[in-house]
């Protein structure tokens, strides 16, 4: 699809495909998965150009022409393409497309489909109890034995407008009550330092992936039996690339982090992610400043990983000062939202 995209946009040829033009902007095509939407000047020459460069041939049985009544070339295009199926509306991926304004009724099949999917989803995902209660009373499926049914029937659902089935005797239970019951005792002590108050999902997710060994560094890939020829850290070109080197042991990264959070100059040995998080948590500063420092650390990890990818795969790199300014700007925008 990328090659085809380049061919359509190739303006080096004498005759090139003419897209829709508006001042300095030209739109020739849009791609979505393996679908291609082509926009171009409606004339035979343009159609032939597209066919020649793409090598694509129309499936006449599946093709429909939508041509505005304002364009007086409809018959000639229809004849040239041998498509005689002309219409004023078609359905693309279930969405109605027409030359005029769409009516609500045009969307009825789509609404019906979504409604059916939702009812299926409800049936599958509602708890057994949710399915077994109908209009405030038990509605049990036939295969259950009498003894089980009798036991369940004996449980009052509601009495005097008070629910008898509650979550831990709490009639107004929320999802967080369920969550606290099961997940409040986290197995790790850095959980709240990643998902802190004011976290940014983009930055914190990257740290979470990194701390769980999910960044696909050279060393991580080796564990999966994927061997990369160039094993050096792209940022300093000097050491084997692994997560701890890339984020803290690398001079490039650590210089960046100390510029962003000068407290890190106190480290004699370079920390790992968990130690860095606990270090910020232990600083003698108020909670708001701690959260800001955590946000900066997560952003630094995110941008270091991005810089590594840019340098490794595109060959472009920026100096520490430029990256420092980029992160500072991103943090400023986040905090002043």
Separation of alpha carbons 123 and 125, rounded Å: 6
Q: Using CB under 5 A, pick the residue from 233, 261, 292, 301 that binds Zn ion.
A: 233
- How many angstroms from the chain centroid is the CA of residue 109? 28
Pick 299 or 304: Cβ nearer Zn ion? 304
Q: Using CB under 5 A, pick the residue from 81, 236, 274, 318 that binds Zn ion.
A: 236
- Report whether 164 contacts 155 (CB < 8 A): yes
Question: How many residues contact Zn ion, by CB under 5 A?
Answer: 4
Pick 193 or 250: Cβ nearer Zn ion? 250
CB of 233 to Zn ion, least distance (A): 3
CB under 5 A: which stretch of 5-13, 107-115, 175-183, 236-244 binds Zn ion? Answer: 236-244
Pick 188 or 237: Cβ nearer Zn ion? 237
CB of 247 to Zn ion, least distance (A): 10
In the chain, how long is the greatest CA-to-CA distance? 84
CB of 245 to Zn ion, least distance (A): 6
Closest CA relative to residue 298, chosen from 336, 334, 266, 252: 334
Closest CA relative to residue 266, chosen from 245, 287, 250, 282: 282
Pick 54 or 236: Cβ nearer Zn ion? 236
Please report, as residue ranges, which positions from 237 to 276 form the binding site for Zn ion (by CB under 5 A).
250
Q: Using CB under 5 A, pick the residue from 211, 235, 256, 323 that binds Zn ion.
A: 235
Separation of alpha carbons 217 and 226, rounded Å: 11
CB of 277 to Zn ion, least distance (A): 21
CB of 238 to Zn ion, least distance (A): 6
Pick 236 or 318: Cβ nearer Zn ion? 236
Under DSSP, the state recorded for 240 is B
CB of 214 to Zn ion, least distance (A): 19
CB under 5 A: which stretch of 14-22, 106-114, 210-218, 231-239 binds Zn ion? Answer: 231-239
What does the block give as tokens for 190? 């850095």
- Report whether 291 contacts 196 (CB < 8 A): yes
Number of other CB atoms surrounding residue 292 within 10 Å: 19
* Phi, psi for 134 (deg, rounded to 5): -135, 130
Tell me: does residue 318 bind Zn ion (CB under 5 A). Answer: no
Pick 199 or 302: Cβ nearer Zn ion? 302
**Directed axis angle between helix 2-9 and helix 44-54, to 10°?**
140
Pick 49 or 260: Cβ nearer Zn ion? 260
CB of 24 to Zn ion, least distance (A): 42
CB under 5 A: which stretch of 31-39, 112-120, 162-170, 225-233 binds Zn ion? Answer: 225-233
Separation of alpha carbons 193 and 201, rounded Å: 13
Give the dihedral of Cα atoms 43, 48, 54, 60; nearest 10 deg. 90
What does the block give as tokens for 332? 């400023």
Closest CA relative to residue 300, chosen from 204, 190, 219: 204
Pick 49 or 247: Cβ nearer Zn ion? 247
CB of 320 to Zn ion, least distance (A): 12
- Report whether 28 contacts 36 (CB < 8 A): no
Pick 138 or 239: Cβ nearer Zn ion? 239
What does the block give as tokens for 96? 């109605």
For Zn ion, the binding residues (CB under 5 A) are 233, 235-236, 250
């Amino acid at each position: 699809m990328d090659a085809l995209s380049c061919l359509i946009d190739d303006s080096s040829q004498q005759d090139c495909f003419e897209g829709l033009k508006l001042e300095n902007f030209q739109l020739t095509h849009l791609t979505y998965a393996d679908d291609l939407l082509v926009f171009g000047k409606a004339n035979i020459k343009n159609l032939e150009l597209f066919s020649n460069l793409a090598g694509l041939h129309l499936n006449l049985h599946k093709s429909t022409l939508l041509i505005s009544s304002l364009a007086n070339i409809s018959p000639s295009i229809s004849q040239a393409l041998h498509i005689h199926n002309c219409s004023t509306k078609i359905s693309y991926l279930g969405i109605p497309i027409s030359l005029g304004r769409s009516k609500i009724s045009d969307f009825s099949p789509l609404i019906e489909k979504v409604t059916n999917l939702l009812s299926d989803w409800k049936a599958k995902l509602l708890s057994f109890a949710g399915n077994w209660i109908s209009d405030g009373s038990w509605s049990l499926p036939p295969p259950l034995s009498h003894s089980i049914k009798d036991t369940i029937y004996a449980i009052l659902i509601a009495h005097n407008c008070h629910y008898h089935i509650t979550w831990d005797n709490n009639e107004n239970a929320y999802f967080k009550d369920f969550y606290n019951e099961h997940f409040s005792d986290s197995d790790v002590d850095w959980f709240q330092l990643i998902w802190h108050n004011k976290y940014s999902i983009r930055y914190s997710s990257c740290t979470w992936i990194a701390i769980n060994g999910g960044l696909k560094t050279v060393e991580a890939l080796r564990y999966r039996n994927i061997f990369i020829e160039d094993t050096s850290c792209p940022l300093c070109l000097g050491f084997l690339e692994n997560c701890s080197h890339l984020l803290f042991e690398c001079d490039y990264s650590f210089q960046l982090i100390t510029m962003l959070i000068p407290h890190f100059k106190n480290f004699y040995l370079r920390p790992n992610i968990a130690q860095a998080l606990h270090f910020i948590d232990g600083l003698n500063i108020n909670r708001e400043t701690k959260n800001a420092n955590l946000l900066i650390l997560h952003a630094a990890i995110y941008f270091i990983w991005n810089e590594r990818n840019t340098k490794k795969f595109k060959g472009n790199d920026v100096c520490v000062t430029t990256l420092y300014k980029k992160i500072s700007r991103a943090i400023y925008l986040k905090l002043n939202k």
